[in-house]
Structure 1
Amino acid sequence: MNRPEDLRRALASLMPQSLATVSIMVSNDGLDEPVRTICKEFSVDLVDGPRRGLGPNRNNCVSHAQTPLITFIDDDVIAGPDFIRAALQVDRTKVTTGFELRHEGTGQPKVVTPHNASFLGFQIKPPQSRVQAVVMNAAVFPTSALRAFPFDENITYGYEEIDISRKLASNGIQIAVDYSLWNNHHPSPINRKEYATRLVASRIYTTYRAYRCYEANSTKATAFLLTAMVHHVLHLIRIKGDLRSAFRTAVQVRKMWRESQRDQGGRTPSR
């Protein structure tokens, strides 16, 4: 993204917490300047991003990481005052997630905690005995886990956090909750309308993938896909939206799935 002032604020929030054992890296998915200047200003590492969206960019960070733990803070985040210290105390064999304060508008910030996905893929279910979700901007991962089970690079925007959570959980990696981990999130209004249509496709794709691959339940996956598309069409009718967008969503989901199969040499994507 091209939000240099957001990046400057994000880095400034981390500087008072910087410790000798912490490495701060910017994977640049936007224009080279003024990002390069900002990184020099704060003496942080800069690596070229793949410029293909969130999934590829997060994998790029993992490939360059040289620490046993890794956390992802987007450029519209201002770190909580003790986030790094709390992150260094987590169990290094688990994923640990906290919460974020989401600042939108002029009212009080919304507290966003991890919620598991519903049947339709919406993150609305409070975790009971098993957590299968993270708040991405307040989560700490074992770097080795993300090298073994990387982010899906077909997910370029939205729902990559629920997909990676389900992938890791299905492979036996526990997700713990620790509310001493928290950050402030100030979502940027830039390109929100464009992202809205991509979010629907990402939700349907990631949920279908979860049932088909992580749960190995093709019947459930097919039932979900049919239900999700009907649900989307009914939603568009209710809000008097453009029904043609449902077709575009279906095409996008199909494209994402076919690309994931191509990545696996024509096989159904594995865990």
Structure 2
Amino acid sequence: MRSPNDSTEPRLSVVVPSRGPAARLRATLACLTGSGPGTPPFEVVVVDDNDGGDAGDHLSAVTREMGGPLPLRVVRGPRRGRAAARNAGAAAALAPRLVFLDDDVLVGPGFLAAHAGAADPGAFTHGRLRELPTAARFLTAVGGAAPAEVRHARAGLEPAPPAATPERRPPHRRLVANALERAVEAMDGGSLPDVAPWLGFVGANVAVDRAVWERTGGFDEEFGLTWGCEDLEFGFRLYAAGLRRALAPDALGVHLSHARPGRWEQHHRNLTHFSAAHPHPSVRALEALLGPDGTPEGYVRAVLAEEVAPARDAAR
């Protein structure tokens, strides 16, 4: 699938791994079709990580539909998990800057311009993420709608101005920051101690130079098919390699929240793998942030306790 502007070299490659029913992918791509003024030349690389069957057919139908208004290519995924799928998309990308975007994240017209404006070879850039708890209702409302209608519905999900009270917003449009997002923003903004300056490489909405991805070896494919942490682990290695975390507040993504059977069990297994590879206090304490009852404040306390424990034990 080619774009009308495919003679222009892209500055950004948006890598979107996808597996399973493509209704959320369709909404994500529909939002990207509305990229506004100031958007640099870009391409979208969808990684089809399906095993074929109905899910693969649906993805093909969606990418054919969106391949007209978008500079879009589809590459086959290795079907070995999200780390491998993201690596496959990055390997196929043409632009010097990679934007990793999940297939269930809705963006606004200024999203790519914000990522381009924040691009820095010495940093990975995290765009804000907010959860939409009523995502099923949203998808039902826009099912089969034209891309412009999807974008209009997404525009109604923008966070309320600071002066507005939550009660003034319709409940089905309210967005929520999860514990990880709150922690990253609080540590970056200084309202919490930055006990994990590497934290923030969240694969649903993050950008890094392609050369850095190559130099640091990409995502760790040993995480396999188990869900969670493969993106954060890459961020840990990026920070160790000298990159800093930067936030792009205007690159807002709205995550279409959905149930994931076995989520916490899978997350725990991947946290164990992460901690074994990098036994750092800020990694060992992640259960206090990413577990079902995790909070930013509890995480900071857990990291500080992990840092104090060796000295206390040595003094005994």
| TM more than 0.5 | yes
C-alpha contact (below 8 Å) 2:102/2:205 kept by paired residues: no
Equivalent in the alignment of 2:177 = 111
The amino acid that maps onto 1:210 is H
Asked if residue 162 in structure 1 is aligned to residue 232 in structure 2, the reply is yes
Asked if residue 39 in structure 1 is aligned to residue 63 in structure 2, the reply is yes
How far apart are residue 193 of structure 1 and its match? 2.0
C-alpha contact (below 8 Å) 1:97/1:114 kept by paired residues: no
Q: Aligned residue pairs: how many?
A: 212
Q: Give the percent of matched residue pairs that are identical in Structure 1 and Structure 2.
A: 20
- Larger RCO: 1 or 2 (CA < 8 Å, sep 6+): 2
Question: Which of 126, 130, 152 is residue 220 of structure 2 equivalent to?
Answer: 152
How far apart are residue 207 of structure 1 and its match? 2.1
* SS of match in other structure, 2:95: coil
Deviations 1:213-271 (A, max 9, x none): xx6xxxx79xx59xx8xx9xxx9xxxxxxxxxxxxxxxxxxxxxxxxxxxxxxxxxxxx
C-alpha contact (below 8 Å) 1:103/1:187 kept by paired residues: yes
Q: Which blocks of at least 5 consecutive residues in structure 1 are unaligned? A: 117-124, 236-271
Asked if residue 79 in structure 1 is aligned to residue 107 in structure 2, the reply is yes
* SS of match in other structure, 2:208: strand
How far apart are residue 75 of structure 1 and its match? 1.5
Question: Which of 116, 120, 127 is residue 98 of structure 1 equivalent to?
Answer: 127
How far apart are residue 71 of structure 1 and its match? 1.2
Q: Show the 5 A alignment for 1:99-248.
A: 99-105=128-134, 108-112=174-178, 113=181, 115=183, 126=192, 128=194, 131-134=197-200, 135-149=202-216, 150-155=218-223, 156=225, 157-189=227-259, 192-211=260-279
Deviations 1:134-193 (A, max 9, x none): 23322111111111221000123201121011010011112212212211001232xx22
Moved segments of 4+, more than 4 Å:
none
Asked if residue 29 in structure 1 is aligned to residue 97 in structure 2, the reply is no
* SS of match in other structure, 2:277: helix
Q: Which blocks of at least 5 consecutive residues in structure 2 are unaligned? A: 1-18, 135-170, 185-190, 292-316
The amino acid that maps onto 1:15 is T
TM-score, normalising length: structure 2: 0.60
The amino acid that maps onto 2:220 is D
TM-score, normalising length: structure 1: 0.69
Are residues 126 and 39 of structure 1, via their aligned partners in 2, closer, same or farther at CA, if it must alter by over 3 Å? farther
Structure 2: distance between partners of 1:8 and 1:178: 24
